[in-house]
Structure 1
Amino acid sequence: MLTAIVLIDADVSLIPEVASKVAAIPGVAEVFSVTGDIDIIAMVRVDEHDDLAQVISDKIGKVEGVIGMTTYLAFQTFSQSDLDEAFHIGLD
């Protein structure tokens, strides 16, 4: 599974609509409206590398109200549940 974090600049008057449309795109796992320099963060999770271009460029980038995007690809996940499991290995 490939994960991309997409930072989305949106037309301020359309943030809720943009977030809803992005959330409805297959491959988009989560969407957050956030404070700071960007307006929306979308977590994209797909099985194939080629799917990233389809979801991010062909779908998210074409949503009305999206002004710009910056995308980061995740190399490794360090969730709390993963860390908890790692520290409990061999302690039974």
Structure 2
Amino acid sequence: MITAIILINAERTKVNEVAERLADMPEISEVFSVSGNYDVVAVARVAYNDALAELVTNCLQKIEGIEQTNTMLAFKAYSRHDLEAMFSLGGTED
């Protein structure tokens, strides 16, 4: 499995639309609107390099509002937190 982090600059008025379109894509596992130099961060997980190339150079190009992307490949995961469990509402009261 190949994991890529895609940093995205979007038109100011289309950030939400871009994020929603990305979230609907099967190759994209997570999408975040962020502060800083980028507007949206997407985490892509694909089986092959060719699938990532297709995603970045063809599929993302068709999303209206994306102005620029910067794609980083993840080499190794150092944390395997279960985010759903980490943010669950089943906490205990003191």
* TM-score interval for Structure 1 and Structure 2 normalised by the shorter chain: 0.7 to 0.9
The residue number in structure 2 matching 1:59 is 59
Q: Mind listing any 5+ residue stretches in structure 2 that lack a counterpart?
A: 82-94
How many residues are paired up? 81
Give the 4+ runs in structure 1 shifted more than 6 A.
none
- C-alpha distance after superposition, 1:18-71 (max 9, x if no partner): 000011112111000000010000000001111001112211232100000000
TM-score by length of 1: 0.83
The alpha carbon displacement at 1:80 in A equals: 5.1
The residue number in structure 1 matching 2:49 is 49
**Which structure shows the bigger proportion of residues in helix conformation?**
1
TM-score by length of 2: 0.81
The residue number in structure 1 matching 2:27 is 27
Tell me the C-alpha RMSD between the 2 structures.
1.1
Identity %: 41
Aligned-partner Cα distance in 2 for 1:3–1:66? 21
The residue number in structure 1 matching 2:9 is 9
